[in-house]
A and B are shown apart, each in its own frame.
Chain A
Amino acid sequence: GAVVSQHPSWVICKSGTSVKIECRSLDFQATTMFWYRQFPKQSLMLMATSNEGSKATYEQGVEKDKFLINHASLTLSTLTVTSAHPEDSSFYICSAREPTGGRLNTEAFFGQGTRLTVV
């Protein structure tokens, strides 16, 4: 089946620095990818929809200048957490769905997640 890969799996950074997380669709082209954030014991919260070749669409309350999303190719989207602070420590997960190819609905594939710890 289709695979979505994230890198890195975990990262520790100093407060004030920026961190980039990559999300790749390995065997299909994804014009749209989704970025989620998950705090301990909580559900996934959608942050933004990443659109290839155009600006990302951010959910209400998510700062677009802090969470920079770039979807430069059909297989790669990146999320950059700028000027990270301890409260940004979380589990970040990306997702992509295969092109429908005429099918009415397709399953979503998720990356393995990236554990960000800001110290």
Chain B
Amino acid sequence: DAKTTQPNSMESNEEEPVHLPCNHSTISGTDYIHWYRQLPSQGPEYVIHGLTSNVNNRMASLAIAEDRKSSTLILHRATLRDAAVYYCILGQGGGNKLTFGTGTQLKVEL
């Protein structure tokens, strides 16, 4: 599986935007970029995914570099409920497995 690299932790203030980076220099042409987050003592939750173009949904935006070797998850206005571990994962299409890396612990302060 292609590997992703994320910072161990990041901090943000409430109501401010947050940019969570992810490097995936060995990404293959068929790999989708997935983002999931995990709140304490819960299962992961889907955030967003994309292949080549930038993506937006109600939770976040995903900006994908033109060479696809990196991506950024953007939370437009962080809230205390966004404090979680965010995982950037590369996955093949269809129902294939997802392999989790270490993720980024996001701390949101008042």
Interface residues of A (CB under 8 A from B): 4, 6, 31-32, 34, 36, 43-46, 49, 91, 93, 95, 97, 99-100, 104-113, 115
Contacts and interface: CB of A to CB of B under 8 A. Distances in A.
Contact of A111 (B43, B98, B102): B43
Closest 9 pairs between A and B when the two form their complex, measured CB to CB:
A110-B43, A107-B46, A44-B100, A97-B95, A43-B100, A110-B44, A104-B93, A93-B43, A113-B43
Contacts of B49: 105, 107
Given A34-B98, A45-B100, A113-B43, 18 more contacts: A31-B95, A36-B100, A43-B101, A43-B103, A44-B38, A46-B97, A46-B99, A93-B44, A95-B98, A97-B95, A99-B95, A100-B93, A104-B93, A105-B51, A108-B34, A109-B46, A110-B45, A113-B41
Interface of B: 32, 34, 36, 38, 41-46, 49, 51, 87, 91, 93-95, 97-103
- Chain A contact residues, majority secondary structure: strand
B43 A49 contact: no
21 contacts: A4-B43, A32-B95, A34-B97, A34-B98, A46-B99, A91-B41, A93-B44, A95-B43, A95-B44, A99-B95, A100-B93, A100-B94, A104-B32, A104-B51, A105-B49, A105-B91, A105-B94, A106-B95, A108-B34, A111-B43, A113-B43
Contacts of A93: 43-44
A97 B94 CA distance: 9
B91 to A, nearest CB: 7
Nearest to B98: A108
Contacts of A113: 41-43
Nearest to A99: B95
B46 A44 contact: no
